[in-house]
Chain A
């Protein structure tokens, strides 16, 4: 077996694959965070909690209602998105006119409450969620073994990310969204229901987090703390990519997943801080983020 700096290629590729999977989840989550920040000007600290809710929704639909994997993968994001719409209508929309800090504190509070509630009801331990039978097994690529479910996670999340990006950058609806970040009053004066669009945007992005949670359930188990452990890294991703840059969030997420994987291979002790070291460097050199429009 060939080695690279004393690391067998198979191990290296395995870590790269793990990095890519983590990166896929970072991408789904940071994409939503970046859109919410860009369109609503809200730093959505509740994003991790919605990810956790997506996982729990999938688990509950499976264990309580006996729904299959594909149905839950579809239903869980819808449920989380609907809850997001309620949160936006009841609370967030009252805070658009005041400083960022208010919505940050609100969403942080929502995250703490949701996590506490689920810890109280379901306990802190992880709930196992079986890999669907259609995605068990794997493919032997010759140089490594690729589990089917992991391949599916990468394909599914990248597809969703790319479609979202295309909708925002290339469609009329996306043009309304982009223009609303510049001048919501004028977009409204042209006859477009901007408040409704903001509600749908929040619901959709939070639904993406729910989708990520449901997708993660068979890989990482479902637990009340699963959101808070990933959300900090996701925030770092958004800061590195540039707050509000949607394409930047996707690219940065994947790149950082891979950097994390590589660090795990060559210097495992540093793997949990690799993302933050990158963040510090980016803030020093290009404070507005790698992909932000204003340099």
Chain B
């Protein structure tokens, strides 16, 4: 590919306190792509996302994004580059209502969705404005966590296990919403253990193991490589 990637991660290492978690992660993401990070628990998928936005302890390596090195950007300035983060635990604030949660992150770039548009994408959230954010079901909280990022004008979304512990019918709704976002030109990194869900939206998959990237499989080649993949995942 001649096109320079939107995000190019080279030799990313990260530490939580004394423990060395990432041992040199290499991957790239092109504009408009959906790329997944898959791997067993503890492989370093979540830590990779957290390293990009600067909420881990020490980091080393290079993560070039739109001409900047994310490792040198202050943590509170990463969002201003159009990067939206949806954490694994969803991070809905219990002291804020649904609407307050939705309006919480400041919009740093033009082109963010209006609240009505977000409700169109996630109808479950409609009419729940004044409910306390954490009163929603897990799936609805996930929708809220994604929805509030869409308001900010972020065009690069880091999505950490959006299907974890969520009912299949809601997973389908989230999948449909993500495909709409992809059609709109959003770039997404998806951390996922649910391979079927990942295959339904992703272009490429990176397999992580023990803090390094051990393989890269395009979505078209997924079926042909199922045995290899299952070995990595220890299924």
A interface, CB within 8 angstroms of B: 175-176, 178-179, 181-183, 185-186, 188-195
Contact = CB atoms under 8 A, between A and B. Distances in A.
Main secondary structure of the interface of A (DSSP, over half): helix
B95 A190 contact: no
Interface of B: 53-55, 75-80, 85, 87, 91, 93-96, 100, 104-106, 108, 152
Contact of B76 (A175, A182, A192): A192
A179 B55 contact: no
Main secondary structure of the interface of B (DSSP, over half): loop
Contacts of B152: 190-191
B80 to A, nearest CB: 5
Shortest Cβ-Cβ A-B pairs, 5 listed: A191-B79, A190-B105, A186-B91, A185-B55, A193-B76
Contacts of A188: 54-55, 75-76
Contacts of B53: 189
A190 B104 contact: yes
A179 B106 contact: no
A184 B93 CA distance: 11
A149 B144 CA distance: 52
A288 B76 CA distance: 33
Contacts of A186: 85, 87, 91
Contacts of B91: 183, 186
Nearest to A176: B104
Contacts of B87: 186, 189
A179 B79 contact: no
A186 B106 CA distance: 13
A178 B94 CA distance: 10
A178 B76 CA distance: 17
B95 A189 contact: no
Contact of A182 (B77, B78, B85, B93): B93
A182 B55 CA distance: 15
Given A178-B95, A183-B91, A189 B79 contact: yes
Contacts of A185: 55
B162 to A, nearest CB: 16
B94 A191 contact: no
B79 A182 contact: no
A193 B79 CA distance: 11
Nearest to B107: A191
A195 B76 CA distance: 9
User: Which of A181, A186, A189 has the most C-beta atoms of chain B within 10 angstroms of its own C-beta?
Assistant: A189
Contacts of B96: 175, 178-179
Given A178-B93, A179-B96, A183-B93, A189 B75 contact: yes
B155 to A, nearest CB: 14
A41 to B, nearest CB: 16
Given A175-B100, A189-B55, 12 more contacts: A175-B104, A178-B95, A179-B96, A182-B93, A185-B55, A189-B75, A190-B79, A190-B152, A191-B78, A191-B108, A192-B76, A194-B76
A191 B104 contact: no
B94 A190 contact: no
User: Which of A182, A185, A190, A194 has the most C-beta atoms of chain B within 10 angstroms of its own C-beta?
Assistant: A190
User: Which of B87, B96, B105 has the most C-beta atoms of chain A within 10 angstroms of its own C-beta?
Assistant: B105
A183 B134 CA distance: 14
A179 B76 contact: no
A190 B91 CA distance: 11
A188 B85 CA distance: 11
Nearest to A169: B95
Contacts of A189: 53, 55, 75, 78-79, 85, 87
B89 to A, nearest CB: 9
Nearest to B75: A188
B105 to A, nearest CB: 4
User: Which of B85, B91, B106 has the most C-beta atoms of chain A within 10 angstroms of its own C-beta?
Assistant: B91
Contacts of A175: 96, 100, 104
